[in-house]
Amino acid sequence: MTELWSSGSLDSSHSMDKSITLPPDEIFRNLENAKRFAIDIGGSLTKLAYYSTVQHKVAKVRSFDHTAKTEGDPLYEISMQEEVSARLHFIKFENAYIETCLDFIKDHLVNTDTKVIKATGGGAHKFKDLIEKKLKLRVDKEDEMTCLIKGCNFVLRNITHEAFVYAKHADSEFRFQNTHPDIFPYLLINIGSGVSIFKVESEDTFERVGGSSIGGGTFWGLGALLTKTKRFDELLQLASKGQHTNVDMLVKDIYGGSYGSLGLTGDLIASSFGKSATPDKEFSKEDMAKSLLHMISNDIGQLACLYARLHNLTRVYFGGFFIRGHPVTMHTITYSINFFTKGEVQALFLRHEGYLGTIGAFLKGAEEDNPNQYSWGENYAGSSGLMSTSPDLNPMQRARSGTFDMLEMDRLERQLVNLPLLQDPSSYIPDTVDLSEDALAREYWLYCFEEALDGVVKRAVASQPDLPEAAERAEKFRHKYQHKLQTLRHQPFAYGSLTVRSLLDTREHCLNEFNFPDPYSKIKQGENDLALKYFQKAVKSLGELSWEQRQFALVRGLLAGNVFDWGAKAVSDVLESDPEFGFEHAKLQLEERPWLVDAYDQWLKRLKGPPHKCALFFVDNSGIDIILGVFPFVRELLCRGTEVVLASNSSPALNDVTNSELQILTERIAAMDLVIQSAVKEDRLTLVQSGSSSPCLDLSRLDKVLAGVVRERHVDLVIIEGMGRAIHTNYYAILSCESLKMAVIKNSWLADRLGGKLFSVVFKYEVPPAEYNIAL
């Protein structure tokens, strides 16, 4: 098995150095707990899917009995418990390795009770006997095209930034598309040996509306005859180096220039291979391969455009082995689509198009579990990432296929949906800056996350003082996350658009991978206990102010509380070096008005009007932020007659408060304050999970229960707090109701970029245009 594992992946044509070679147990992860299998065998590649259960640690908090609580006892206890969750694994490798891989799988199957493996693809029949012999599983063949469509629907619905436009000469060659809330209808152009064109109208409604015998097999077959090159990828490599104009006859070759009256430019191909009839002239393999690629791509592109127009569809996805992430193929198809539709239709490609068949086959086998009732999320820790096959890149960074070699997806506990108050869900972009397109910002933030790594490792170990192996696991986390950062430096498009949010989420995924579910748990616990001691004093001080003074003090207090963010190095350095740094110190750090973004006067004017019906508040940090900043602000809203919904993270991230922690804090504050107490009893103050486990916020992936509460309560004010939720994400989000976005800039570089300085304030109050201010 050494040859297989020493190649660096399951694809022998990858050129990767030994430092990133993966052992088999890191490729076939969690195989011992595999419950269900599916396989898609094509002409050259095998794609394997299996469902497994993963045991991991979770941090649980439990409230103490307050009647028996003595001075100095913590508010709640933290315990690490084992939980089991579901994960999907997808692996791609060359057919040449199928027997070796099946042997490894057979040797490591321990807890499976499955008797069947779902199979699709042209090779399913060829390898049927081998699979049944090796794995002792019955091969159950599924319709290839049905699997393809099911797989496509699944990735479009569940994977952020699945679809992309390819722009060869742009700063960022991959331009990722937002996940549309309604993925239907669309056209899928599957380019295998031939071409099949599908119109997909719903999960189970699709039809093959056309096709062509001129496809990938044509390119491969004719290419082999013309160049004597038998391997598909070598043909594409030849094409990438060729000049088609040496073989193709152009408009200017016939007319001496452009044909203006017909709108034909001189560089347009008038006749593919038109110059090859020239006597006594030799043509290079590279030029012939390039001409052939253009001829077939242009034909497919024109066909796709005609069917898109015929069925009035603007979303056209391309897949199949002819694509496989090759830049030269994607570029020629993109050019063809743009030419024939005059830019009205975009050619869309998929990050995981190589896995569509095996995902569909798996879903067919898992129908009894109804996997579509759940939301799924890409696990960045276990997925290898999209790789460019551009010949200009360092060979060590190049991969034969642009799709994943490994893809892992976790089943989420809660179903995720759009916030109903998004003005236009189809145009919503969570992230403020795409680091893929901003080289300066990309380099800064990658450096920032690398610099912060020592501190994260230290916190991870400190969070588990009773576990001696924690230090070893923390070093494994460091190595893995460092490798991810290096990958993203060379391939910023590996997991879709590179953003601060994706860097944070990748870190959280890696921490969880090595059983560090909540590195800041003890810090949060200590800060919550301390802040609670000052809550009544803070409320009393606010009550002594005039109404107008109190409104400003509440906003200033909320902003000061938001300073306490362990995710910001400028703050964590202060908190570690000066344990006495507190609420009043933070107020002094804030810039004086006018703030960097200052809509406070408009907010004050609004407060003099009628109260809001219900406010949805996305909260941020534990401790001083939530207790001395958010709760007094919420208390004032309740006194005005406004109902409040507090939305907090479902799972830990940095020192952000989680829903389970917030439940305990609210119970404790209610015991001290009659306003909060009565609001909880009368259901005017509600706590709901956001569905997120990130320091940032994607309003298109929120807990379905939260969306229901928003509708039921007729929310007319959304408050988003913190740098992660209101600056790195959602700064430009447009809602159909009033919104407040508040944050303190705790990063000098970002503050400078925004035209401010460290601890500058963003206070953004927005009112939607009248036509969008509609009742839910």
DSSP letters for 454-517: HHHHHHHHHT-TT-TTHHHHHHHHHHHHHHHHHHHHH-TTBTBS--HHHHHHHHHHHHHHTT-S
Structure tokens at 40: 């898609």
Average pLDDT over residues 490-513: 95
With b meaning 16 or more CB within 10 Å and e meaning fewer, what string describes 4-25?
bbebbbbbeebebeeeeebebe
Consecutive H or E run containing 334 = helix 327-341
Report angle CA 80, 84, 87 to the nearest 5 degrees.
130
- Region 198-220: mean pLDDT is 95
CB 535 within 8 A of CB 673: yes
248 residue type, one letter: D
Torsion of CA 700, 703, 705, 706, to 10 degrees: -60
pLDDT of 370 over the 80 cut: no
Least confident of 78-87, 212-221, 660-669, 734-743: 78-87
Peptide bond into 594 cis (omega under 30): yes
pTM over cut 0.85: yes
- Provide CB contacts within 8 A for 392, sequence distance 6+: none
What average pLDDT does this structure show over 348-359? 92
What gap in Å lies between CA 266 and CA 165, rounded to an integer? 27
Residue 609, pLDDT > 50, answer yes
User: What pLDDT, on a 0 to 100 scale, did the predictor assign at position 725?
Assistant: 98
Query: What's the CA gap between 254 and 51, in Å, rounded?
Result: 59
For residues 116 and 329, the answer to whether their CB atoms sit within 8 Å is no
The three-state secondary structure class of 494 is: strand
The per-residue pLDDT for 278 is: 85
Report whether pLDDT(5) > 60.
no
Q: Model confidence over 540-571: pLDDT tens digits?
A: 999 999 999 999 999 999 999 999 987 777 77
DSSP codes joined into one string, 617-655: EE--BTTHIIIIIIHHHHHHHHHTT-EEEEEEBSS--TT
Mean pLDDT computed over 308-314? 95
In angstroms, the first-to-last Cα distance of the chain is: 60
Question: What would the two tokens of residue 523 be?
Answer: 């810090």
Segment of 5-14, 124-133, 274-283, 637-646 carrying the highest mean pLDDT: 637-646
Q: Is the peptide bond before 24 cis (omega within 30 degrees of 0)?
A: no
Task: Decide if 477 contacts 464 (C-beta within 8 A).
Answer: no
Which range has the worst mean pLDDT, 59-73, 78-92, 109-123, 437-451? 59-73
Question: Which residue, 243, 479, 562, 196, is CA-closest to 357?
Answer: 196
* Confidence class for position 372, pLDDT limits 50, 70, 90: confident
- The predicted model gives 726-753 an average pLDDT of 96
Sheet containing 717-721: which strands, arranged edge to edge? 597-598, 760-766, 738-745, 717-721, 614-618, 643-648, 685-689
Q: Cis link prior to 768 (omega < 30° from 0)?
A: no
Q: What is the pLDDT of residue 324?
A: 78
Are 186 and 203 contacting, i.e. CB atoms less than 8 angstroms apart?
no
Select from 91, 26, 87 the least CA-distant residue to 55.
87
Structure tokens, 301: 């592109």
* C-alpha Rg value of the chain to the nearest Å: 29
Bridging pattern class, strands 406-411 and 376-378? antiparallel
Residues in the chain: 776
Residue reference for tokens 């076939």: 28
Candidates 393, 303, 315; CA nearest to 347 is 315
pLDDT at 776: 32
pLDDT of residue 398: 36
**Sequence-separated (6 or more) residues with CB below 8 Å from residue 682:** none
- Integer angstrom CA distances of residue 550 from 4, 121, 669: 69, 68, 20
| pLDDT above 70 (res 634) | yes
Other residues' Cβ atoms within 10 Å of the Cβ of residue 347: 24
Lowest mean pLDDT among 9-18, 347-356, 511-520, 753-762: 9-18
In angstroms, the CA 354 to CA 427 distance is: 27
Is the model's pLDDT at 104 over the cut of 60? yes
Largest CA distance in the chain: 100
How far is CA 104 from each of CA 35, 49, 53, 120, 573, rounded to the nearest angstrom? Answer: 16, 15, 19, 21, 48
pLDDT band for position 128 (50/70/90)? very high
Residue 595 above 70 pLDDT? yes
Instruction: Indicate the DSSP class of residue 344.
Output: S
Would you say residue 231 has pLDDT above 50?
yes
Q: Please say whether the beta carbons of 428 and 178 come within 8 A.
A: yes
> Residue 86 is which amino acid?
A
CB neighbour list of residue 577: distance below 8 Å, 6 or more residues apart = none
Query: Of 344-348, 673-677, 721-725, where does mean pLDDT reach its minimum?
Result: 344-348
Label residue 492 by pLDDT band (50, 70, 90): very high
For 711-721, how does the pLDDT look when each residue is reduced to its tens digit (9 = 90+)?
Answer: 999 999 999 99
Asked if pLDDT for residue 393 goes beyond 90, the answer is: no
Spatial CA neighbour of 44 closest among 89, 93, 115: 93
Residue in the structure block whose two tokens are 């742009």: 170
Q: How large is the angle between the packed helices 547-561 and 600-607, nearest 10 degrees?
A: 130
Cα separation, 414 vs 422, in Å, equals 20
C-alpha span between 219 and 199 (Å, rounded)? 25
Block residue for tokens 């400003």: 552
